[in-house]
Amino acid sequence: MKILFVHTFYRFKGGEDNLVIDEMALLQSAGFTVELMKFKNSDTFLGALLPVFFLPFNLFSFWAMVKKIRKFQPEVVHVHNWHFAASPSTIVACHYCKVPVVLSLHNYRLICPSATLLYNGELFLDSITKKFPWKGVMLGVYRDSIFQTFWLAFTIYLHKKLKTWQKVSAYIVNSEFEIKVFMQSTLGIPEKKFLLKSNSIPDPSFEEETKRKDHFLFIGRFVSEKGIEVLLDAFSKVPFKLVIYGYGPMDQDVKESTRLHPNISCMGALSHDKLSEELRNCTALVFPSIWYEGMPLTLLHAFSTGTPIIASNIGAMSTMIEDHHNGLHFKTGDAADLAQKLAYWNNLPESEKEAYGLRSRKTYEDRYTPESNLKSLRLVYDSVIK
């Protein structure tokens, strides 16, 4: 089977970018012929201006896609992130060339310009049920910009009217929770088009007798939706060590916390080949995200290394982490409750912590192996081709 992946890479590389590369490699190892149609948003103001201007329908992306499809002749096109540089015109190009297209929903951009259903650190759900998200526009829920929010909302609304979203053969989501959210919206996609698929990561080496250190670990982008403020606030209240890996717009907030609190240390970006090693060293991963995450790859890496997770009880984390089984839940956005859970974990006997770790590893083996992911992808592609 020949599959064309389409993805606009982010300025700050994140889990979605890694997922695209990993799934391409997984499919190629199974004998699929896979190529990547790569787009990238420019880092410069002038370079980024044109893709934003052409966002409603980027003719350059459209004809680039048509040319690629005619040359490669894929049986299915799998779109991940179209945001800005690719534009929804890539989906129209697939329809023009009569090739079925699958769209992975890694966020909620199609039903709210914020993409995260967040505004000022709190859930913002108003746009979901509106034909046009005027309140979100006036608040500037995307990058605190009324114009950019309007332009993005207009693009999505325009393609509702053009029935572009109806031209997608299947939408890939990672949880029943996501389906419920999209079905509450005005997007107008029939439920049968939403197909569930678990993500996966390659299986790292696992040793039951791993000797862990006493520090907690955070890995992720330094952005508000990842719960950075909650994380830093909680660890300012407790004596436990926190090691942070990542980068992003809130770099200065993290650096200031490390200056004020000696128990917090920031190690910068974490290379992919060191990820498993760092997870094996920590006592637990802290995942304080405050938005409806789909299926964060960081959690899959934690499960694969038998690392327990202390996470906010929201979105995918509410089902992926089973409280007092493979990890702990705390109230979303509540730094005091997180601090209590950290103290609870710290006081557990080592034998009980090890039991949590084994159950975490079992979660990976049961749900998130490459074999499971490959089976799901095959089912999705076969269903849209038929």
CATH T-level fold of 216-367: Rossmann fold (3.40.50)
pLDDT tens-digit series, residues 256-304 = 999 999 999 999 999 888 999 999 999 999 999 999 988 888 999 999 9
Q: CA 326, CA 162: separation in Å to the nearest integer?
A: 45
Task: Give dist(CA 233, CA 33) in Å, integer.
Answer: 48
Question: In the sheet that 242-245 helps form, which strands lie side by side, from edge to edge?
Answer: 264-266, 242-245, 216-219, 284-287, 309-312, 327-330
Q: CB burial class (10 A; 0-12, 13-18, 19+) of residue 103?
A: buried
3-state DSSP call for residue 88? coil
pLDDT for the residue numbered 10: 81
Annotated domain spans of the chain: 2-200+370-385, 216-367
- pTM for this model (two decimals): 0.84
Task: Say whether pLDDT at 96 is over 80.
Answer: yes
Range with the poorest average pLDDT among 2-6, 45-49, 83-87, 274-278: 45-49
Q: Tell me: the pLDDT tens digits for 344-357?
A: 999 999 999 999 99
DSSP, collapsed to helix, strand or coil, labels residue 9 as: strand
Q: Do 2-200+370-385 and 216-367 come out as alike in CATH topology?
A: yes
pLDDT in tens, 309-335: 999 999 889 989 999 999 999 999 999
Compute CA distances 254 → 247, 260, 339, whole Å.
9, 10, 18
Q: And the tokens for 122? A: 């709190």
Dist. CA 108–CA 127, nearest whole Å: 10
**342 pairs with which residues across the strands?**
none
Pairing between β-strand 122-123 and β-strand 118-119 as defined by DSSP bridges: antiparallel
* Pairing verdict, β 327-330 and 309-312: parallel
Please list the alpha-helical segments (H only) found in 54-194: 59-72, 89-96, 134-139, 146-161, 176-183
Between CA 101 and CA 108, with CA 103 as vertex, the angle to 5 degrees is 155
Q: Is the pLDDT of residue 46 over 70?
A: no
User: 37 is written with which tokens?
Assistant: 């149609």
Nearest to 110 by CA among 58, 144, 152: 152
- Strand-strand pairing, 264-266 and 327-330: unpaired
How far is CA 74 from each of CA 5, 6, 35, 36, 86, rounded to the nearest angstrom? 10, 12, 9, 11, 18
CATH superfamily for 2-200+370-385 is Glycogen Phosphorylase B; (3.40.50.2000)
Q: What is the mean pLDDT of residues 18-47?
A: 88
71 exposure class (CB count in 10 Å sphere: 0-12, 13-18, 19+): exposed
Q: Distance between CA atoms of 357 and 352, rounded to whole angstroms?
A: 9
- Which of these, 152, 197, 131, 198, lies nearest to 170 by C-alpha position? 197
- The alpha-carbon radius of gyration of the chain (Å, integer) is 21
d(CA 156, CA 132): 9
Q: What angle do CA 28, 29, 33 make, to 5 degrees?
A: 25
pLDDT digits 0-9 by tens, 159-174: 999 999 999 999 999 9
- Cβ pair 295, 320 in contact under 8 A: yes
Tokens of 349: 């006997």
d(CA 108, CA 111): 6
In eight-state DSSP terms, residue 4 is E
